[in-house]
Amino acid sequence: MSSTYWSYIKVEELLALQNGHAKSDEDLSNDEVMFITIHQIDELWFKLILRELVSVRNLFAQPVVPEQSLASAVRGIRRMQAVLEHLAAHFSLMETMTTRDYLDFRDKLGSASGFQSAQLREIEILLGLPDAERIALGGGQGSYLEALRDPTGAPSSAFHRVQMRLADKPTLLEAMREWLYRTPIQGSIPGQAGDAETVATFLDEYSDHHAKVTRSQKEVAEARAFLRGEDAPAAGSAEGGSTQALEAERARASRVRAALVFIESYRELPLLAWPREVIDAVVAFEQQFVVFRQRHARMVERVIGRRTGTGGSAGVDYLDTTALKYRVFREVWAVRTLLLRKGDLPALRRPEIYGFASGAP
């Protein structure tokens, strides 16, 4: 096949896009071209993350997730994490620019701001960050969606991207919770006779064991309440619904959390080995997201100082706050505080369910 590197990679088209608001990038300083280029590279990385995110979400959104596809889900999540690592590393390159070099072209940015990256918003949305948990930008700004309008007020391409993503359901969080909900616990699956009792018994046993090794009564009580899903509406969606809906929501949350605890507790079992890897990968990914946001705040503080951001945001403080507050997989993190030593675990029932066809579990 006749193919060349430059036609496949589209090198010339690509290298013609670094001119910002000028006719040609010949008219710009090296610093401004670097500034533009790093943002373009960030967008390219975001695109890769979004693609993997859609694939992983689709995988978990299936009514039945084939066990052997979990390894590919893990690979996708780990790749997203690896990309985030590269993104975080870029900040050190931006820091080769002095404050004064930056000030030389800052006025050109007008109200353009990294906050207007549609793809970063899409990633947050598709992961499952609810709008209600977003931090206001400050400075009398409207919602984050409003920041994506054109100067004329018309919806931009960025606005459209984000709106389409808001309609792209389920989120990864929702899809993974559905999948976790179906995890066999002590050999029992939802719909099976006695499943609710089996799960409740497991959680009671677990809570009892947890109580034995934990000094603080407050921590013990919180653990028990969490495992029973008593705070569920906060995490779920039953807004002020009927008592019945609330009950269902709690039962649902309780089984999801039981699954998280169960998978971590018997992580050596063949059937749980890949679910465990999924959870480990999710933890590593969300941790890397926090690291990325915190590193972003550090770069801004260093290069720009604590000026008001071009987008009108409170700058460094806004970035540091979102780093600590934006958290999607809250239940996964909460479970880490409840884990027990192997010797302190409840007894495993029906281990044969969790083994390979060819041998003992």
Q: Considering only residues 26-65, where is the footprint of a copy of itself by CB under 8 A? A: 30, 33-34, 36-37, 39-41, 43-45, 47-48, 51-52, 55
**Interface pick for a copy of itself out of 14, 164, 221, 225 (rule CB under 8 A):** 14
**Interface pick for a copy of itself out of 60, 65, 73, 90 (rule CB under 8 A):** 90
Q: Does 23 bind a copy of itself (CB under 8 A)?
A: no
Q: Could you tell me the two tokens for 270?
A: 């063949």
State in angstroms the smallest separation of the CB of 214 from a copy of itself.
Answer: 9
Sign of CA dihedral 234, 235, 238, 243: negative
Sign of CA dihedral 139, 142, 143, 149: negative
Q: Three-state DSSP class for 188?
A: strand
Q: Does 2 bind a copy of itself (CB under 8 A)?
A: yes
Pick from 93, 111, 54, 56: nearest CA to 78: 56
Buried b (16+ CB within 10 A) or exposed e, 56-70: bbebbbeeebeeeeb
State in angstroms the smallest separation of the CB of 125 from a copy of itself.
Answer: 17
Q: Does 361 bind a copy of itself (CB under 8 A)?
A: yes
Q: Give dist(CA 343, CA 203) in Å, integer.
A: 17
**Interface pick for a copy of itself out of 169, 212, 336, 349 (rule CB under 8 A):** 336
Closer by beta carbon to a copy of itself, 4 or else 243: 4
Closer by beta carbon to a copy of itself, 128 or else 184: 184
Q: Could you tell me the two tokens for 135?
A: 């931090």
Q: Given the rule CB under 8 A, which of 121-129, 130-138, 170-178, 269-277 is the region that contacts a copy of itself?
A: 269-277
Q: Does 270 bind a copy of itself (CB under 8 A)?
A: yes
Q: Does 113 bind a copy of itself (CB under 8 A)?
A: yes
Alpha-helical (H) ranges within 62-144 are 70-94, 99-109, 118-127
Sign of CA dihedral 204, 209, 211, 214: negative
Q: Give dist(CA 138, CA 128) in Å, integer.
A: 23
Question: CA 252, 255, 257, 260: dihedral to nearest 10 degrees?
Answer: -130
Q: Given the rule CB under 8 A, which of 101-109, 129-137, 172-180, 202-210 is the region that contacts a copy of itself?
A: 101-109
State in angstroms the smallest separation of the CB of 350 from a copy of itself.
Answer: 10
For residues 221-250, which are near a copy of itself according to CB under 8 A? none
Q: Does 257 bind a copy of itself (CB under 8 A)?
A: no
State in angstroms the smallest separation of the CB of 182 from a copy of itself.
Answer: 13
